[in-house]
Amino acid sequence: MKSKAVSSLIVGALACFLGANAVHAVPPSGLQLMQISLAGSLATTKSISSNVDVVVKKTLTTANIINLALGYNPTNAVPANQVLVLAFVFADSGAPECALIVYDTTTHSNLVTIATLDVGGAVDSVKGAGSVGAAGQLETAGAFTGGWIALMGKAKFDNTGLTQKFISFSATATGIIRGNDGDDFEVALTKGSCKMLGTLPNP
């Protein structure tokens, strides 16, 4: 288990580099930026009269998440330089710190932090693989006003370097997402999946 002092240092380093609009900050040792795709089915309650509610099912896409996090219409086209990223800071020992962010690949900056995630799991260091889970509360960002998200899946690691890195990651996703896009909404992520698209180079 990490000491509180070590954990605080890692959180501080992550916050320094990943703070919104932190352009060209010095990345902490062990930082890895993983571009991910997140998609799933959402179920939300919609009132059709004063006494009748129905459950409406919709599809959630990576583009929807990016737009909502930035306060835009969820159906807007997303510029190619705006990507959804899991930002990990690996410690010498213990679980890494992680944040779900919208990252600008042109300016190498964090546009917005969606959630700071607690990471844990069981990893075979010899095989470089194992089960990994991450969960945390959504930040008040853009159209999001709260909720939580959790990812649980399998990952492969590269243990040959000075710091551990992900080679691959895929997971199921669940959560509750609250926000306001003109009207208050609360949705349940009833069927979600997440996969790693690639590792972004550190600035």
pLDDT (tens digit per residue) in 102-142: 999 999 889 999 999 998 888 787 888 889 999 999 999 99
Asked, for residue 189, whether it belongs to a domain, the answer is yes
Asked, for residue 56, whether it belongs to a domain, the answer is yes
Asked, for residue 149, whether it belongs to a domain, the answer is yes
Residue 15: predicted pLDDT: 54
Q: Containing domain of residue 70, as a range?
A: 4-198
Rounded average pLDDT over 137-162? 89
Asked, for residue 181, whether it belongs to a domain, the answer is yes
Residue 96: predicted pLDDT: 77
Asked, for residue 114, whether it belongs to a domain, the answer is yes
Distance CA 138, CA 147 (A): 5
87, burial (CB in 10 Å: exposed 0-12, middle 13-18, buried 19+): buried
Number of CB atoms found within 10 A of residue 149's CB: 23
Least confident of 29-38, 89-98, 130-139, 140-149: 89-98
Count structural domains, the chain: 1
Global pTM?
0.82
Rounded average pLDDT over 7-15? 45
Helices (runs of H) and strands (runs of E) counted in the chain: 2, 9
Q: Report whether 50 contacts 42 (CB < 8 A).
A: no
Asked, for residue 74, whether it belongs to a domain, the answer is yes
Q: Report whether 139 contacts 155 (CB < 8 A).
A: no
Asked, for residue 203, whether it belongs to a domain, the answer is no
Asked, for residue 99, whether it belongs to a domain, the answer is yes
Dihedral sign from CA coordinates of 150, 179, 196, 6: negative
